[in-house]
Amino acid sequence: MAAPPSDSEYLTGWGGHLESEALPGALPRAQNNPQVCPYGLVAEQLSGTAFTVPRSMNLRSWLYRIRPSVGHSPYTLAEPEGRLLADFSSAAAANCTAEPNQLRWGPIPLPPPDKPVDFIRGLETVAGAGDAARKDGVAIHVYAVNSSMNSRAAFSNADGDMLIVPQLGTLVLKTEFGSLTVPPRSVVVVPRGIKFNVALAAAGEGEGEGERGAEGAGARGYVLEIFKGHFTLPDLGPIGSNGLANPRDIKFPKAAYDDTEEATAEPWVLTHKYMGQLFEATAAHSPFNVVAWHGNYVPFLYCLEDFCCMNSVTYDHPDPSIYTVFTAPSDEPGTAVADFVIFPPRWMVQENTFRPPWYHVNVMSEYMGMIWGSYDAKVGFQPGGSSLHPCLTAHGPDAATFAAASAAALAPTHFNSGLAFMFETGAMLRVSRRALAARNLDVDYHKCWDGIPVLFDAARRDVEVEVEVPAEFAKRG
């Protein structure tokens, strides 16, 4: 595999019609499908939406390949539904179940060194809603791997778009459109149907202390999959024209191609996820044989450290929607199929305000993960771990956080001790039975709310708070 691209080798800018060619003049001019394409390439359109959706919503790209995608053996079932789920209806009760309790998992265990596990085999479903067959709903997965995919292998997903959040280890994605290098504190979105290969970066190419994963060591992270729609930037409303994830910071790959068709070489193995099942086919030629492309249906990369936070500078903690990076809108205005939200380093200057997230009973379902550091509302929420707060199940700061924040001096504070994220969805999630049986499930999570001090005093309207801050709160950083 070629060396990963530098930032200068990416295309940038959200919302445009992009084009890239690895050979000069490889893109046809003035038409998409000439009788004979430059260099004898074959034109192929990849459609991410129906032909007839409004132009502002239409997503498609033209790819100019050495051979068309159809040249492969028939797909055969490689792995039945079970580890990866795409049906969360009541009919799928053998694999997932309704679970109204707050849940928390510790860091995802990495595979042992003597058991090679690549990205395809390291994916496992945590929870989801809906059904990929109806193109409606979401799925949440985690991955833990210690091996790159075979260099002659590719993965594609017919079920939905995948937003991949590395927590440990840098991933190098080789796609039909070119390569993307994805360290922790970055995310990558691979729209449905696009083939890609996932390799672990060489040792030392990770981001930050304690975040390096290399061949033989391991990588882990989280995946949000949407069965309906596609990820986009949220509208800014009263914020105006700038802020949050700025369009100029979204990166796209530049065209690069394989031209290998040795008669004696091992065949390419194409793994395709379809309705939650894995199918395999073989091909004599590389699926990464795209010499040029143009369009707006393309994988993309975003560095979370480029996020421009908006926050209150007067009073009250704003709704977490103010930290939305990407959203997948539903048919109901203002309600997303799923949002990807982060809680990054930021200034907190609100006056007379309980500054951690407030206690909440939310109609949305919230799955949270920790990328690095500590979370400002929980003791014991570890990097590589996660939590799930179901629809209309109460949650909020634990006892230690409540005690500390109730008595804290309200000087301007720069929170710079962690990066957490949230997958939020309007759907009610069923939880995978495998996730409920996982060894890293924290069965005592509910106890974090035990011992919240009672400050109520019916004789005094203005309460002077004097509480003892638990020792574990001071140690969490």
Q: What pLDDT digit, counting tens, does each position of 429-446 carry?
A: 999 999 999 999 999 999
Domains in the chain: boundaries: 72-99+110-286+298-304, 306-450+465-472
| 72-99+110-286+298-304 and 306-450+465-472: identical CATH topology | yes
317 is catalytic: yes
| pLDDT tens track for 271-309 | 999 999 999 999 999 999 999 999 999 999 999 999 999
280 labelled ligand-binding: no
143 labelled ligand-binding: no
Answer whether residue 213 shows pLDDT above 70. no
375 labelled ligand-binding: yes
Q: Which of 317, 389, 414, 446 is catalytic?
A: 317
* Distance separating alpha carbons of residues 228 and 215, to the nearest angstrom: 34
State what percent of residues in the chain have pLDDT above 90.
79
CA-based R_g, the chain, Å: 23
CA angle 443, 445, 446 (to 5 degrees): 110
3-state per-residue secondary structure call for 295-358: ECCCCEEEEHHHCECCCCCCCCCCCHHHHEEEEEECCCCCCEEEEEEEECCEEECCCCCCCCCC
Do residues 199 and 174 touch, judged by C-beta distance below 8 A? yes
* Distance separating alpha carbons of residues 364 and 180, to the nearest angstrom: 32
Predicted TM-score (pTM) of the model is 0.93
Which of 378-382, 421-425, 468-472 bottoms out in mean pLDDT, i.e. has the lowest? 468-472
Domain 72-99+110-286+298-304: CATH superfamily is Jelly Rolls (2.60.120.10)
141 labelled ligand-binding: no
Answer whether residue 463 shows pLDDT above 80. no
| pLDDT tens track for 365-393 | 999 999 999 888 888 899 999 999 999 99
CATH number for the domain whose boundaries are 306-450+465-472? 2.60.120.10
* Distance separating alpha carbons of residues 137 and 347, to the nearest angstrom: 35
Do residues 473 and 403 touch, judged by C-beta distance below 8 A? yes
User: DSSP readout, 282-294?
Assistant: EESS-S--EEEEE
The arithmetic mean of pLDDT across residues 195-202, rounded, is: 95
- For residue 162, CA distances in Å to 56, 337, 467 come to 22, 13, 45
* DSSP category for residue 120: H
* Distance separating alpha carbons of residues 312 and 208, to the nearest angstrom: 29
State what percent of residues in the chain have pLDDT above 70.
92
* Positive or negative: CA dihedral 449, 224, 441, 475: negative
Q: How many helices (H) and strands (E) does the chain have?
A: 4, 29
- For residue 420, CA distances in Å to 116, 138, 144 come to 29, 20, 18
* Distance separating alpha carbons of residues 70 and 47, to the nearest angstrom: 15
Answer whether residue 80 shows pLDDT above 80. no
The arithmetic mean of pLDDT across residues 61-70, rounded, is: 97
